A and B are shown apart, each in its own frame.
Chain A
């Protein structure tokens, strides 16, 4: 059971916007950077967002990240069928002394 809580699934139509939440606590999200990973079916995870809201080179600006208090949010605009994937948040938990991943959210683009 992860200390980071994500909704199991979200869905939206092509072209629409979706947000994925990641709920944590004062020992993880509040005082540490949050990163987000995209895992397309059958592939390794790929870094999507780091340091809460920064995009690595090559990641389109349709993807955004934010953090407020004990929660973080991934936003995806202009949804495409190619965005169908599992999305994971992650951060360091200072109390556990461990990197924590959320349970993952499956995005379906209807």
Chain B
């Protein structure tokens, strides 16, 4: 059974850097075709994809946020970390990590999400 859980600060100040950790179980990020992605959802708005990292360390970023995002993995710890720099109130959202089924191009299992508020 695949599970994922997001963790990190829930309140950050403008201009600060947000670091979110996705801790997962039930799969290995060393297995061919496997990936983990981050998706966020501002209150009352649509889902927005942020970043993806694959088993071979291939990384993909949202073009609109690429300059502010860094995604890394620690396969030995079963963790994926997303760093978002220069946080702004518009970055207030629920942040989800999800298991990527590479061959199908879908997110088949999602974490429960963590709500991040950006406010001074």
A and B interact physically: yes
A47 to B104, CA, bound (A): 12
Of residues 85 through 110 on chain A, the ones whose CB sits less than 8 Å from some CB of chain B are 88, 90-92, 96-104
CB contact between B110 and one of A35, A46, A103 (< 8 Å): that residue = A46
Q: Are B108 and A47 in contact (CB under 8 A)?
A: yes
Greatest chain B CB density within 10 A among A39, A90, A98 is at A98
Interface of B is mostly: strand
Number of interface residues of A (CB under 8 A): 27
Contact A33 B96 (CB under 8 A): no
B62-115 contacts to A, CB under 8 A, are: 62-63, 96, 101, 104-113
Contact code string B47-61 (vs A, CB < 8 Å = 1, else 0) = 111001000000011
Q: Pick from A32, A98, A101: contact of B47, CB below 8 A.
A: A101
| Nearest-neighbor residue (CB-CB) of A100 within chain B | B49
Q: A44-B96, A50-B101, A101-B48 are in contact. Are A56 and B108 (CB under 8 A)?
A: yes
Q: Is the CB of B106 within 8 A of A47?
A: yes
The secondary structure that dominates the A interface is strand
A101 to B38, CA, bound (A): 13
| Docked pose: A102 CA to B37 CA in angstroms | 17
- Given A99-B52, A103-B46, the answer on whether A33 and B104 have CB atoms closer than 8 Å is yes
Q: Interface extent on B, as a size class?
A: 20 to 34
Tell me if B105 and A98 are in contact (CB < 8 A): no
* Complex interface: chain A residues within 8 A of B104 (CB): 33, 35, 50-51, 54
- In the bound complex, residues from chain A placing their C-beta under 8 Å from that of B47 are 37, 39, 45, 88, 90, 101, 104
Chain B residues lying within 8 Å of A39, measured Cβ to Cβ, are: 47
**Contact A35/B106 with A99-B37, A99-B49 known, Cβ cut-off 8 Å:** yes
Which A residues are within 8 Å of any B CB, using their own CB? 2, 32-33, 35, 37, 39, 44-47, 50-51, 54, 56, 88, 90-92, 96-104
Interchain residue pairs with CB less than 8 A apart (11)? A35-B106, A39-B47, A44-B110, A47-B107, A47-B108, A47-B109, A56-B108, A90-B49, A98-B60, A100-B49, A101-B48
